[in-house]
Amino acid sequence: MHSISEFEETYTLKNLTHGTLTLDLGCGLGKEVYYKNFYLIGIDISKERLKKAKEKRIMVVLGDGRYLPFKNKSFKTIFCHQVIEHIFEDQVFLNEAKRVLNGRMVISTTKTAHFRRGYVNKKFKIGVKLLTDEHVREYHPSNFKRKLKRSGMEVLDLRGYGIEFIICLDTLFKFAPSIYLHWGKKLMPFCRFLIATCKSN
């Protein structure tokens, strides 16, 4: 398994309470490791991805993360990996996540290159080339944290992972997940991704 994905799994399992009703926000194809540890519902906007997720016997809902079809405080835990950078209305997305949350959320995204300030935004043509054309923006840690707080959540932890200058070689470093767990805050300027644990107030 690629160590980037492995770290996301390690971090998520470490920071969220197992056995709770959990929302996989932007579940895509779904990952069985999560479904073995949580009472989990996946939601995604893609019918094709959900069809494949169902083949894994995963409970899924077709829906838009900006307009979640759930009651307030429905989920004790939420995780959302590499989704928000694809959404123009990111603050609406975070506000909705906070609305249905009654506990903790783990969320990851793509970080801007370490030598840039602010975030790159395709809609307003600000900044430089993004990591992929599928992204509408990428975040500086301070802006990402600010948006999380603006939604009404408390940010308990924010760290980086995926060291930028060796990202293509990351699969060679089996020890990378433990490095990011212990040194993710100090390495954040040199990392390509961000991950945070938040709590609903």
Question: What tokens appear for 50 in the block?
Answer: 């959900």
Q: Is residue 71 part of a domain?
A: yes
Write down the pTM of the prediction: 0.84
Q: Is residue 201 part of a domain?
A: no
CB 136 within 8 Å of CB 87: yes
Least confident range from 38-52, 80-94, 119-133: namely 119-133
The Cα 141–Cα 82 span in angstroms is 15
The Cα 101–Cα 22 span in angstroms is 9
If you average pLDDT over residues 130-145, what whole number do you get?
83
The Cα 160–Cα 111 span in angstroms is 8
Least confident range from 1-5, 148-152, 159-163, 195-199: namely 1-5
> Which domain range does residue 88 map to?
3-195
- Which has the higher per-residue pLDDT, 5 or 40? 40
Domains identified in the chain, total number: 1
Q: Is residue 186 part of a domain?
A: yes
Within 13 Å and on the Cβ side, how many CA atoms surround 88? 4
pLDDT tens for residues 9-19?
889 999 999 99
Q: Is residue 89 part of a domain?
A: yes
Q: Is residue 85 part of a domain?
A: yes
Q: Is residue 154 part of a domain?
A: yes
Say which CATH number the domain at 184 has.
3.40.50.150
Q: Is residue 200 part of a domain?
A: no
pLDDT bucket at 23, cuts 50 / 70 / 90: very high
